Chains A and B, each alone.
Chain A
Amino acid sequence: MLVNTYSRRIFSLAYQFSGTREEAEDMTQEIFLKLYNALAKYDFGRNFDAWLLTLARNHLIDEYRRTKWEKKSRDDFNEYTLSAGEVSNPEDRMLRKESRRLVWEGFNSLSAELRMAVILRDIQGKKYEEMAEIMELPLGTVKSRVNRGRLQLAKIIRDKKGGNP
């Protein structure tokens, strides 16, 4: 039940954060192991999604700090986007794919905290209030991290494109 409901979401978060399928699979497995061990401590007054994402986020950041993933390369972007289908115009599709590739590669330049904030907000689509609960931080700090992460990514992309947005 837990696996069917949450595995894809947790794996996506781990993959977007770590950038490699191998790391993401290991991390997902470890997160679920932690989840089963921590279920007895779950406070039923708390939102389960937020509680699970807090556990996942803490594990991913702890592992990142322990292993320093930023030195490793990310998976090839094309492999990641095989299932992405949108935008009818081929030119727009190419431009958007190129933008996503630059963003995907730019993630490695962000610190763990900024990367996590951007992923939760812009890819996972979390509200700031939910993020504050997941990240166990004040709302203002969360917004500041999202802003700084986005700006860093935007500058990386601007530099790679040679100043053209």
Chain B
Amino acid sequence: MKCAHIEEMLSSYIEDELPAEKRQTVEAHLDACPDCRSLLSCLEATTDSLSRFPQAQISEDLLQRLHAIPARRKRVRFLPGFLLRPSLQPILAAATVLMTLVSFYTFNPNKDAIDKSINRQLHLGYRKAGKIYSRAEAFALSLGEHKDNILESIKSTKLFGRSEE
């Protein structure tokens, strides 16, 4: 059997987990192969060293920091809890939309085109408002011509079923 195949079984061999037949195969190979014998000795020394590693000493400073974690979490949790109150949600939603629009406008590479478009829309808006205002003025003037007739009609109108005296 090749050394590579024996190597795969050495760990189970030292832990005494190999079936009897495989154990005999490994032992027969070890008798004939000094390289695998040397590797087995190193493997045993390695596992022996590993099993004697001491637990590392933890510092007082770290212990204090670990004990402080739950209290720190409570302080950190206050902020999201406060922000998640239902009464604040419409305000936060509006702020989010506003921030999104502002950031879209601020960081858009076609900012100049957006500025022009906004100016054009504002200009069109002003013109429309101006037209409506001038029409309203003309309408008010035209009403002046029929002022007497309108007042007469209002006076003669029956209010709440009572006759005009």
Contacts and interface: CB of A to CB of B under 8 A. Distances in A.
Contacts of A72: none
B50 A154 contact: no
A12 interface: yes
A158 B44 CA distance: 12
A123 B52 CA distance: 7
B42 A147 contact: no
Contacts of A125: 51
B57 A122 contact: no
Interface stretch (B25-33, B66-74, B106-114, B143-151): B66-74
A79 to B, nearest CB: 10
A159 to B, nearest CB: 9
B51 A29 contact: no
Contact of A151 (B11, B63, B66, B70): B11
Contact of B56 (A3, A11, A33, A143): A11
A150 B11 contact: yes
B58 interface: yes
Interface in B24-51: 38-39, 41-51
Contacts of A16: 53, 56
Contact of A9 (B38, B39, B55, B57): B55
**Number of chain B interface residues as a range:** 20 to 34
A158 B38 contact: yes
Nearest to B62: A25
A143 B62 contact: no
B100 interface: no
B56 A99 contact: no
A147 B45 contact: no
A143 B18 CA distance: 13
B80 interface: no
Interface of A: 3, 7-9, 11-12, 15-16, 21, 24-25, 28-29, 32-33, 36-37, 80-81, 83-84, 86, 96, 99-100, 102-104, 118, 122-123, 125, 143, 146-147, 150-151, 153-155, 157-158, 161, 163, 165
16 contacts: A7-B66, A8-B56, A36-B73, A84-B53, A99-B45, A99-B49, A100-B53, A103-B46, A103-B49, A122-B47, A150-B11, A150-B46, A155-B42, A158-B38, A165-B38, A165-B45
Given A84-B54, A158-B39, 11 more contacts: A8-B55, A16-B56, A28-B62, A36-B70, A84-B52, A100-B53, A103-B49, A122-B51, A123-B50, A155-B39, A165-B38
Chain A to chain B: the 4 pairs with minimum beta-carbon distance, closest first: A165-B41, A122-B50, A147-B11, A154-B42
